[in-house]
A and B are shown apart, each in its own frame.
Chain A
Amino acid sequence: MSNTIRTRAMLNGDIAKIMALINHPMSLKIVNGKTIPLNFIEQVKAEINGKQVFLADWSAAISKNPFLAFKVKGAKAGDSVKLSWNDNKGKSGSTEFKIS
């Protein structure tokens, strides 16, 4: 499932900016003026060297094929980053990479 997430990390001193693009429809529909969420990512988690640093709780009002960026202080080259997501239909995806 790693092909659902594309990542990039930029190290500036001891602050890493981690960016991700996730392939996901993030769909909703409008019926009689009422908005109904259909298929959307509920959570995105990030771990660095096995410790959770970041948790995003999302709704269907996050854009299709979501972009996400966050920053971690104290990061260094070689640190291992794991990103994972799960959606409201029970699907999930994850990827792991090292900060370089």
Chain B
Amino acid sequence: MEQTRRVFLKRSLTASAIGAAVGAGLLNPRSAFADAWPEKAFMSTNYKEVMKMIDGADTAESGHVTIQAPDIAENGAVVPVTMSSDLDNVVSLTLYTPQNPFPLNSTYEFSHGALPYASFRIKLAKTMPITAVARTADGKLYSATKQVKVTIGGCGG
């Protein structure tokens, strides 16, 4: 079942008609393929392109989002991150790590009473800014960025 869905997703995303619709901002890829793991976005190395695939645009207004992470992470393999928003119509929060090998770290979707909040631990290859983006039900994007200094890179293991 998983495999079938993935194959479907791959084929669908490469289909030119859908690609054009996505490019024109007519279609939000995440809602169009609800619940499938967004393989193409996770494998992309282009930050702006990834953000368009996940959030439908490559810029976000700052504010309404809080990102908590240490100023200095001694071990880049385990960096605690908490994202949250004070808005009540947030459908997803996404963490972007623009200078990691893959800019998309993880994305979280909320429904049926879940609050826009996620706490987890990430790997950072080096010192970089990390950005949390909240997407609202009406497609607006809000973000917050935090610089995390890494003393030992976390992508070696």
Contact = CB atoms under 8 A, between A and B. Distances in A.
Contact of A48 (B112, B121, B122): B112
Interface of A: 15, 27-28, 30, 34-35, 37, 42-43, 46, 48, 51-64, 66-75, 86, 90
Contacts, number: 116
A52 B102 contact: no
A37 to B, nearest CB: 8
Contacts of A53: 110-114
A63 B77 contact: yes
28 contacts: A34-B101, A42-B37, A46-B114, A48-B112, A51-B111, A53-B112, A54-B110, A57-B42, A57-B108, A61-B97, A61-B100, A61-B102, A61-B122, A62-B123, A63-B121, A63-B123, A63-B154, A64-B77, A67-B120, A67-B121, A68-B118, A69-B120, A70-B114, A70-B115, A71-B114, A73-B113, A74-B113, A90-B2
A59 B2 contact: no
Given A43-B37, A53-B113, A55-B109, A61 B119 contact: no
B116 to A, nearest CB: 9
Interface of B: 2-3, 35, 37-38, 42, 77-80, 82, 97, 100-102, 104-115, 117-125, 154-157
